[in-house]
Amino acid sequence: MAKYRVAWLPGDGVGPDVLAAARVVLDRIGLDAEYLPGDVGWEFWRREGDALPARTIELLGNTDCALFGAVTSKTKSAAEEELDPRLQGKGFSYRSPLVRVRQLLDLFVCLRPCKAFPGNPLNYRDDTDLVVFRENTEDLYAGIEFNGVPEEMKLLPGMDRVPPDAAISLKINTRGGSKRIARAAFEYARKHGRRRVTCVHKANVVRVSDGLFLDTVHQVAHEYPDIAFDNAAVDAMCMSMIRHPQNYDVIVAPNLYGDIVSDLATQLVGGLGFGCTGNIGKHYALFEPSHGSAPKYAGQNKANPIAAILAVRMMLEWLGETDKAARLEAAVADTIHEGQVRTHDMGGSATTQEMTQAIVARL
Ligand code: GGG
């Protein structure tokens, strides 16, 4: 029996292309694992009315961790048009499978390392090396939304100012949720020799929910006197990250701001082809390239596989396979530094498979 059971979820668009690259790397590095394929994504929404079928949730429950490719999602009206006519009118509505997995399995940490590999022509600066801890289950992504003002809400303070044609999405930050993401960020900083944690918020305007987040992270910071702590409003933070990305170390943020600043940070280190994400809970984790499904490049052997390969690196580290993780990171770094093989996004013409082979040859 293999040591690990890994759920294998290619999803849509270029998801299968980049997970094929991930598999080549895993086989070469010799992880003792069994890979169990699972259904997820747009096709399953179209055909079954569910982008995350129950059988896939069961698979996640029977594995140690998951590797995920990418999913397509569309606006409400486009989604309704594409739904199988036999399912139309039956009340199906698209819900992001990624957001659902994060909530169902309580994968409360969204970890996004953003490190510039020297020699990458897409780097903004060569010395950016920061890590974003995004809270992954709460905030505006809690999925509690209304069209119109529900009767039960009408008596709440301030609701008399809300017109009846309002669309309402609740932003929910809890003390417990804020505390555990803060602890995860500070623990990571301590373990990895990082010097500073910066909390991102908008507590000067969104006083109650962001106020709670900032206040909680600040309290947790007192438990870590060896780590410097500061905070920034999300708008100022975006400007500052572009001006001085080298000044940032560990960033902790509620879900929405974390989503935004981690994309910004990923762009500073090469963009979509270089961003990887770990969705991590107490006992389970799902790793993925941060990019979406890019349907127009699907099956063309064109997508940069590095983001998916870096997701494999994160998975190896989480499994405790730290030597293999370090070897893989070194192989990626060498390939980029040498600069012989570059994918389209890097200004070259190498295919997905050629980039994968170049990395594998260094393992
Ligand atoms: N690998 C990340 C990915 O596929 N992102 C696309 C995305 O987030 N789509 C929104 C959704 O979850 O439906």
DSSP annotation string for 99-149: HHHHHHTT--EEEEEEEPPTT-TTBS-TT-EEEEEEE-SSBGGG--EEES-
Average pLDDT over the chain, rounded to whole? 96
Mean predicted confidence (pLDDT) in 124-146: 95
Domain boundaries, the chain: 1-113+273-363, 124-134+173-268, 139-172
Please state which of the four CATH numbers 1.10.3290.10, 3.40.718.10, 1.10.1200.10, 3.30.590.20 is assigned to the domain occupying 1-113+273-363.
Answer: 3.40.718.10
Concerning whether 202 is annotated as a catalytic residue, the answer is yes
Please determine, for residue 84, whether its predicted confidence score (pLDDT) is greater than 90.
no
Please determine, for residue 93, whether its predicted confidence score (pLDDT) is greater than 90.
no
The alpha carbon of 225 and the centre of ligand 1 are apart by a number of angstroms equal to 37
Closest residue to atom 6 of ligand 1, CA basis: 292
Least confident of 29-38, 79-88, 177-186, 346-355: 79-88
Residue of 64, 202, 302, 345 with catalytic role: 202
The alpha carbon of 129 and the centre of ligand 1 are apart by a number of angstroms equal to 24
The alpha carbon of 207 and the centre of ligand 1 are apart by a number of angstroms equal to 29
Please determine, for residue 117, whether its predicted confidence score (pLDDT) is greater than 90.
yes
Residue in 73, 82, 100, 310 to alter for ligand 1 test, most ligand atoms within 8 A of Cβ: 73
Mean predicted confidence (pLDDT) in 311-333: 98
DSSP code, position 52: S
Concerning whether 215 is annotated as a catalytic residue, the answer is no
Mean predicted confidence (pLDDT) in 342-356: 97
Half-sphere exposure for 165 (CA within 13 Å, toward CB): 0
pLDDT, position 92: 80
Residue of 27, 106, 126, 235 with catalytic role: 235
Q: Model confidence at 248, in pLDDT bands (50, 70, 90)? A: very high
The alpha carbon of 127 and the centre of ligand 1 are apart by a number of angstroms equal to 28
Q: Model confidence at 94, in pLDDT bands (50, 70, 90)? A: confident
Quickly count helices (H) and strands (E) in the chain.
12, 12
List beta partners, residue 198.
230, 251
Concerning whether 345 is annotated as a catalytic residue, the answer is no
Concerning whether 284 is annotated as a catalytic residue, the answer is no
Is the distance from the beta carbon of residue 98 to the nearest atom of ligand 1 less than 6 Å?
yes
Place of tokens 């530094």: 337
Please determine, for residue 79, whether its predicted confidence score (pLDDT) is greater than 90.
no
Hey, is 312 helix, strand or coil? helix
Please determine, for residue 326, whether its predicted confidence score (pLDDT) is greater than 90.
yes
Mean predicted confidence (pLDDT) in 210-236: 98
pTM (2 decimals)? 0.95
Residue of 129, 215, 263, 334 with catalytic role: 263
Is the distance from the beta carbon of residue 139 to the nearest atom of ligand 1 less than 6 Å?
no
Is the distance from the beta carbon of residue 63 to the nearest atom of ligand 1 less than 6 Å?
no
The alpha carbon of 43 and the centre of ligand 1 are apart by a number of angstroms equal to 14
Mean predicted confidence (pLDDT) in 116-120: 97
Concerning whether 263 is annotated as a catalytic residue, the answer is yes
Q: What is the pLDDT of residues 167-210, one digit of tens each?
A: 999 999 999 999 999 999 999 999 999 999 999 999 999 999 99
Is the distance from the beta carbon of residue 273 to the nearest atom of ligand 1 less than 6 Å?
no
| Closest ligand 1 atom to 288 CA | 1
pLDDT, position 87: 83
Rounded CA separation 214/282 (Å): 23
CB crowding 250-263: b at 16 or more within 10 Å, else e: bbbbbbbbbbbbbb
Q: Model confidence at 88, in pLDDT bands (50, 70, 90)? A: confident
Mean predicted confidence (pLDDT) in 265-287: 97
Task: Determine whether domain 124-134+173-268 maps to CATH 3.40.50.
Answer: yes
Sign (positive or negative) of CA dihedral 310, 313, 315, 318:
negative
Read off the tokens for 135: 């809270």
